[in-house]
Amino acid sequence: MKKIDKIKLTDVISQINKVIDKPINQTNLELILADLKLSKFKVRAIEGELDKFLKTDRSFLVSLWKIDRIDAIVDHYFDRLSHQDRKLLFRYLDSIESRTINEIENNSLSKVKDNKLVKIIKLEVFKDRNKVN
């Protein structure tokens, strides 16, 4: 049986923070779209116009891309973490989620204040995890 080397939680969090802290303007939109397509993310408009939204809100695509990068990091290292470190990683990810929700809400509110005609869009976003053999 192959032995799996343990990894420190701080190393995993450091990699996650590098993804989170990458400025939006330093990301190539074409690369992001290609990565998201390979990652099998599905985005469907339940209400509103998806094409117009994606053209005008680059931050949504960048956020989705960052989520995918974080997911890949966690998926890669999770089995190599101790049970206690896994618990701590989940707490850390919960804090990221809370912070991100607050940022999205604040960003949305500032856009509403800046735009007299507000368009509503409701999206369904999921990642297809079916493996093809």
**29-72: per-residue pLDDT in tens?**
778 878 888 888 788 889 888 888 777 777 788 888 888 899 99
Secondary structure of residue 52 in the 3-state scheme? helix
Judge whether residue 84 has pLDDT over 90.
Answer: yes
Judge whether residue 109 has pLDDT over 60.
Answer: no
Asked whether the whole model's pTM tops 0.85, one would answer no
Secondary structure of residue 43 in the 3-state scheme? strand
Quick check: 34 and 65 in contact, CB under 8 A? no
Q: Where are the domains of the chain?
A: 9-127
Residues 6+ apart with CB under 8 A from 42: 124, 125, 126, 127, 128
Quick check: 77 and 7 in contact, CB under 8 A? yes
